[in-house]
Homo-oligomer: A and B are copies of this chain.
Amino acid sequence: MARVYNFSAGPAVLPEQVLREAAAEMLDYRGSGMSVMEMSHRSKTYQGILDEAEADLRGLIGIPDNYRVLFLQGGASQQFAMIPMNLMKNRVADYIVTGQWAKKAWQEAAKYGTANKIASSEDQTYSYIPDCSDLPVSENADYVYICENNTIYGTKFKTLPNTKGKPLVADVSSCFLSEPVDITKYALMYGGVQKNIGPAGVVIVIIREDLITEDVLPGTPTMLQYKIHADAGSLYNTPPAYGIYICGKVFKWLKDLGGLSAIQKMNEEKAAVLYDFLDESSLFKGTVRRQDRSLMNVPFITGSDELDAKFVMEAKEHGLENLKGHRSVGGMRASIYNAMPMEGVRSLVEFMKKFEMENK
């Protein structure tokens, strides 16, 4: 067995310890005589797994009692519809469009009401976060929406927008649990888990209780109502049980590391190694405005499509995988999520240095 350094933007690297535990428990979860995959979701054993996952997540973030935690299916893409269907009471919402995913969310919301694009960074290929300190937030907006970390473009909101009292809804898929957050600043925070937390097929929604109502848009499917899932403790129907179990292991791993402050420090150190090199390199350069740089996704280019392709190919031969950038940015992208070890980032930078020397 030889593990590579996997810089995939998602699904992405998971902690090796989590995978080892999952493998060891595959045929017999702790004396139950069965795999977690084979377990009734109504069993005490599985309820224990679910409860512990939720409790650990609440502990990590510091989620107060007036927020509910939901483990759902359909990914962020399904939330793009579920959010307006549940929250658009006035049929008005404001969207800050800082990338492809925020744009898709905005376009989907427009099916259900007036979705205003109140800010955007599309003019410069989403390479920065617009100033959101005094935006024209709509008088009757049901919420203001952001994608907090933009996976494709490598930007992150360092300051949350001033929503002028309107509820803030945030897609945190690619920065979930990467640093401490004040959840009380959000009305709804959600993310697909396949970047920083677990296997694809689970989306976690953390929602303030007062936003969970029966008053949804006409025609909203039962499965797309937050209240249905909240009332059933995420067990309205069979949940993505194995995925939640893996998420629970990642929560434990994070707790053992020291929680979100500890992982933030590690993430900052890892990102600094890469960004510092990019800032001094004569070949590679980052594509994002410095103050908006993500700790998780680091796009960079050489300026030559040919060299970019050569770099991605040679990196792969050196066990540095999935460094090709998204087609809308080009170049390279290194996703350095929680589970990417410092050695992975150092190996990447060492290889970049070598490549730079060889391709002067």
Contacts and interface: CB of A to CB of B under 8 A. Distances in A.
Given A28-B1, A38-B12, A33 B321 contact: yes
A8 B243 contact: no
Contact of A239 (B22, B200, B202, B222): B200
Contact of A74 (B26, B73, B85): B73
A231 B74 CA distance: 17
Contacts of A78: 73-74, 221, 223
Interface in A76-90: 76-78, 80-82, 85
Interface residues of A, number: 71
Nearest to A246: B37
Contacts of A185: none
Contacts of A40: 8-11, 322
A35 interface: yes
Contacts of A192: 238
A81 B76 CA distance: 19
Contacts of A239: 200-201
Interface of A: 1-4, 6, 8-14, 16, 19-20, 22-24, 26-28, 31-35, 37-41, 43, 73-78, 80-82, 85, 108, 111-112, 192, 194, 198-202, 217-219, 221-224, 236-243, 246, 319, 321-322
17 contacts: A8-B38, A11-B40, A19-B35, A20-B26, A23-B26, A23-B27, A41-B200, A74-B74, A80-B222, A81-B224, A82-B221, A111-B221, A194-B241, A199-B240, A199-B241, A242-B243, A243-B243
